[in-house]
Amino acid sequence: MSTTDVDRRIRSLRPPKLKLDPYVAQRTLLEDERRSSGRREQTLTVFLSGAECPFTCSFCDLWQFTIDGPTPPGALTAQLANVIGMLDKPFPDRLKLYNASNFFDTRAVPAVDVVGIATLSRSFTAVTVESHANTIGKATLELAEKISPARLEVAMGLETIHPVASAQLNKRLDLARFDSAAKFLADNGIDLRVFVLLGAPCVGVEESIGWTVRTVEYAVERGAAVVSIIPVRGGNGELERLQALGHFTPPTLSQLEESLEQCSHFSDAVVTADLWDVDRLSTCEDCKSARIERLRRMNSSGRHEERIVCHVCGRA
């Protein structure tokens, strides 16, 4: 994919990235996840170290968790083998592999690692990988076949359906392509997980929650089994440039709460609030911890809870 002037500007504004060992996974996370069927799964998430995504989205902060250059062949297999080798049996139900890029991009995941990862994945009931909609296709079907009998789920970023904002994200994705990828997955028995932004650049503050909820609804209508609402996190330089121009306002904890509350009615999909770095969201310090714990419980149960009443900030 050719590099544009916008790509170069976004990259030029970034602070230095972390120095990662391509043969060592960055971290793992073991947690319970709720599925729309009501079943609970124990899930192991492995954050793999590999090549950077080529799409250079304006809101992205994942580039800092990638290496320079392509992923060395065999490195991802070694990372996953080391993680699995330390697991106690029985293994968790689901394995989530997040490589801060696109699993079906051979620069990020070499062919030899697809085979190695597939072999290691067969001990799990289900496997989730992440991918831009533009890289969904034949390689996706091949992975689904290789990991069988485990069931494949692909996590795709829809981000926002706001007509202006979606065109300004530098994601190189239109709704027709997303729809096509979602249909392709559904037609081939592959599950869909979707990421939706809260606080997308070029969406006004007063419209932010509404467009987030509408984007979640769009994803569910196209077969998403799980939708995660992700507050946009600053720090990549481009977002600070957009903020100075009045085109971006960092989302707040209150907006995240309201968004999740308005998405609590779905019976055929699980909608959760992404709580990665949630402490960074602007809010009253006196009630922050209680409100974050409320979101954790709502993520886990899928049930609405009464709002936290704070006698300092006055918010209910």
Tens of pLDDT along 5-26?
999 999 999 999 989 999 999 9
pLDDT of res. 131: 97
Q: Could you report the per-residue pLDDT of 135-151, keeping only the tens digit for each?
A: 999 999 999 999 999 99
Q: How much is the pLDDT for 282?
A: 82
What CATH class is the domain 5-284?
A: alpha beta
pLDDT band at residue 1 under the 50/70/90 scheme = confident
How confident is the model at residue 36, as a pLDDT?
Answer: 87
- Residues counted in the chain: 316
Give pLDDT tens digits for 247-286. Answer: 999 999 999 999 999 998 888 999 999 999 999 998 889 8
Integer Cα distance of 250 and 281 in angstroms: 8
Across the chain, what does the average pLDDT equal? Answer: 95
Query: Stretch 76-89: mean pLDDT, rounded?
Result: 96
Q: Decide which of 39 and 57 is more confident.
A: 57
Helical packing angle, 111-121 and 138-147, nearest 10°: 40
Burial class (CB in 10 A: 0-12, 13-18, 19+), 279: exposed
pLDDT value of residue 252:
95
pLDDT at 310: 86
Q: Pick from 171, 137, 207, 153: which is nearest to 59 by CA?
A: 171
C-alpha 262/C-alpha 60 separation (Å) is 25
Task: Give the tens place of pLDDT for each residue, 190-237.
Answer: 999 999 999 999 999 999 999 999 999 999 999 999 999 999 999 999
pLDDT tens digits, one per residue of 91-117: 999 999 999 999 999 999 999 999 999
**For residue 263, what pLDDT is reported?**
95
Q: Look-up: residue for tokens 């308005």?
A: 262
Kindly tell me if the per-residue pLDDT of 297 is higher than 70: yes
- Cα distances (angstroms) measured from residue 252 to each of 187, 273, 280, 285: 38, 12, 9, 12
Residue 37 has pLDDT above 90, yes or no: no
Burial label, 27 (beta-carbon count in 10 A; 0-12, 13-18, 19+): exposed
Q: What is the dihedral of CA 301, 303, 309, 313, to 10 degrees?
A: 80
pLDDT number for residue 41: 96
Pairwise CA distance, residues 13 & 278, whole Å:
24
Peptide bond before 90: cis, by omega within 30 degrees of 0? yes
Please check the confidence at residue 60 and state whether its pLDDT lies above 60: yes
Query: Please, which pLDDT band fits residue 312 given cuts at 50, 70 and 90?
Result: confident
**Percent of the chain predicted with pLDDT > 70:** 99
- For residue 67, with 0-12 CB atoms within 10 Å meaning exposed, 13-18 middle and 19 or more buried, which class applies? buried
Query: Residue 122: helix, strand or coil by DSSP?
Result: coil
